[in-house]
Structure 1
């Protein structure tokens, strides 16, 4: 076992025990507010022996439930520093922290969520926090002690889009160790289904999400593809399916989903731009990936030589004349001839890997 320190909200240091092999699937354990990470010791040891890399976190030392917002920001920052998407397992009020931290873009931060003996949380239902959980979620009751089943728990679990429940039967428990073993069994069964240790396989006809996850293992940069529609209005969208094709002639390509709102305009555009993003442009990436946004509002951009909108401060902006267009399943491929490129070599690229933004770490 080793100890690692993360930086929480406001630079607060947060210590964690780390058990298991670095190459094993990760599990992040969150204690109850006011508890130490040692409360998870027996479960952490069992998970590590079962082939999981376990990170058992201490919450910030001061404050209770009234500092819930700070705990939430702490957890989001820790997840951003982990380098992989763990399954988050939270005890009691730690579940309040986890549900709020993962209600927004949780799928980019974690691979699953387990809530053990979480107290009734009517606010999570009323504020839509439960309904916004995009992660597979397991609600365990009786994990640490016999717990009454309440209607509020049922309402919360029912509001989860990908939720399931498990009740630990007290009639089969004679010792505290029995309860720990029962909890560990529930966790491992969920982990094996949602984040298996063996390599996941895709075959023709399998769940498309499995193929998407496989494709996500290829690290890419992030681009925003821009053009003018028939009325001369700037349009654009975020895309990471981009590559160079040829230097002579100078060709590149991008793949655009047929379902994208800007797809019709890009299909008809005679010229388009590809803006490769740097790390400071993550908000722009999010904006151009969200429907209903005024994507160019308050964003520095200028028309290029051909009139296409090019984003300021990009790592590189390519201005292209459309060379050809090819249909490819649920996407189409635009091949462009580069007529102009502007780049700033001293900026760091914004990267994307396994459904999460990354940064380049120099050795």
Structure 2
């Protein structure tokens, strides 16, 4: 078991237990606000034995008012955004309130499924249920005898991809059986919704599944740079980069249309591609985030064409724009290399399955 920290809402540091093999499907366990992660400890150990990687979250202290869970909601969204793959999120009691609010807007992009164990159901929860567009399991009686109400029935019925399960007292010969029964419900849902065998994307499927598939191709990381109309340096992090031709010397990068730097790169006559080495991970993070002066306190110098080139890069290519091609939500920028500087003895910074990696030589 490893204890790591995630950055939550407002920079708050959240302590997390991580158990199991990082290559196994992930399950994120969320207690209710005010509870510690020990509520999920037994289930976490059993899930690891069942071939799952478990992320067991320690929430921040209880909010001043029970209904004030906004910080917990943003904490969960921040953790999910930092994970390399989409986990199934399993919640305890009022942790379900946190998860339903965090996942209702765009949950399918952040999580592969949602399990709500003993969540108290309010009218507000019932109203939000239709917006939970991801597989959801409602379990009653997981930690204590079930309280079946009309509201909980209405909530389960309103879920777009929902199902429910009741753990009945009459089916339990011993108190420990409740834990076993809950684990059985969790595993049955996980095997159907997050199988350990190969996943599949088909046209029209959830685009995040395609993104996960693309993430299985290990890449290097680049920072693409140019000058804006006023002559100020601009740039962004990109890993969709490849050599195209040696004669003539061409390369390409794919740029998201939604990027703030996209308009600058569309208009640029010249641009630079800086291939990063392992010591430049902070620069990669900075150029992948929005806002702020990305070049502040960062060594760079103008190349022969004036484009900003980052000091210490594995390779820096200076390019003249050859062509530009529209491609869905990205555009493909093809450049003719006019100059390249490289230092081949540094180790590259790699990216695989949503995480930075280092090269391990065979």
Equivalent in the alignment of 1:6? 3
Secondary structure of 2:289's aligned partner:
helix
Report the CA distance between 1:109 and its aligned residue: 7.8
Which among 340, 355, 358 is matched to residue 357 of structure 1? 355
Equivalent in the alignment of 1:87? 88
Structure 1 residues 247 and 315: alpha-carbon distance in aligned structure 2, compared to 1, 3 A threshold: same
Q: Is the 8 A contact 2:141 2:168 kept in 1?
A: no
Show CA shifts across 1:33-52 (max 9, x none): 5567475536853x467x53
Q: Using the TM superposition, name which of 6-15 and 173-182 deviates more.
A: 6-15
- Give the whole-Å Cα distance in 2 for the aligned partners of 1:178 and 1:31: 21
Gaps of 5+ in 1: 288-292
Which among 283, 286, 293 is matched to residue 283 of structure 1? 286
- Give the whole-Å Cα distance in 1 for the aligned partners of 2:48 and 2:178: 18
- Give the whole-Å Cα distance in 2 for the aligned partners of 1:39 and 1:210: 28
- Give the whole-Å Cα distance in 1 for the aligned partners of 2:223 and 2:76: 30
Q: Is the 8 A contact 1:31 1:94 kept in 2?
A: yes
Report the CA distance between 1:146 and its aligned residue: 1.8
Structure 1 residues 264 and 83: alpha-carbon distance in aligned structure 2, compared to 1, 3 A threshold: closer
Report the CA distance between 1:136 and its aligned residue: 6.3
Q: Is the 8 A contact 1:138 1:163 kept in 2?
A: no
Q: Does 1:116 align with 2:98?
A: no
Q: Is the 8 A contact 1:271 1:319 kept in 2?
A: yes
Show CA shifts across 1:62-84 (max 9, x none): 97778x989x989978996x876
Counterparts of residues 1-363 of structure 1 (less than 5 Å):
4-8=1-5, 18=19, 24-30=24-30, 34=35, 37=38, 40-41=41-42, 45=46, 47=47, 51-55=50-54, 57=56, 59=58, 85-92=86-93, 111-118=112-119, 140-144=139-143, 145-147=145-147, 166-169=163-166, 173-175=170-172, 180=179, 183-184=182-183, 186-188=185-187, 190-192=189-191, 194-204=193-203, 206-229=205-228, 232=231, 234-247=233-246, 249-257=248-256, 262-263=261-262, 265-277=264-276, 278-281=280-283, 282-287=285-290, 293=291, 296=294, 298=296, 300=298, 302-311=301-310, 314-326=313-325, 328=327, 331-342=330-341, 349-354=348-353, 356-360=354-358, 362=360
Gaps of 5+ in 2: 7-11
Structure 1 residues 79 and 205: alpha-carbon distance in aligned structure 2, compared to 1, 3 A threshold: closer
Structure 1 residues 112 and 315: alpha-carbon distance in aligned structure 2, compared to 1, 3 A threshold: farther
- Give the whole-Å Cα distance in 2 for the aligned partners of 1:31 and 1:44: 15
Secondary structure of 1:218's aligned partner:
coil
Report the CA distance between 1:218 and its aligned residue: 0.7
Q: Is the 8 A contact 2:146 2:168 kept in 1?
A: no
Structure 1 residues 347 and 75: alpha-carbon distance in aligned structure 2, compared to 1, 3 A threshold: farther
Report the CA distance between 1:242 and its aligned residue: 0.2
Report the CA distance between 1:7 and its aligned residue: 3.5
Q: How many residues align?
A: 342
- Give the whole-Å Cα distance in 1 for the aligned partners of 2:86 and 2:29: 13
Show CA shifts across 1:134-185 (max 9, x none): 9866554443232465979989x99xxx986554446685325775566445
Report the CA distance between 1:102 and its aligned residue: 8.8
RMSD: 5.5
Q: What is the TM-score of this pair, normalised by structure 2?
A: 0.64
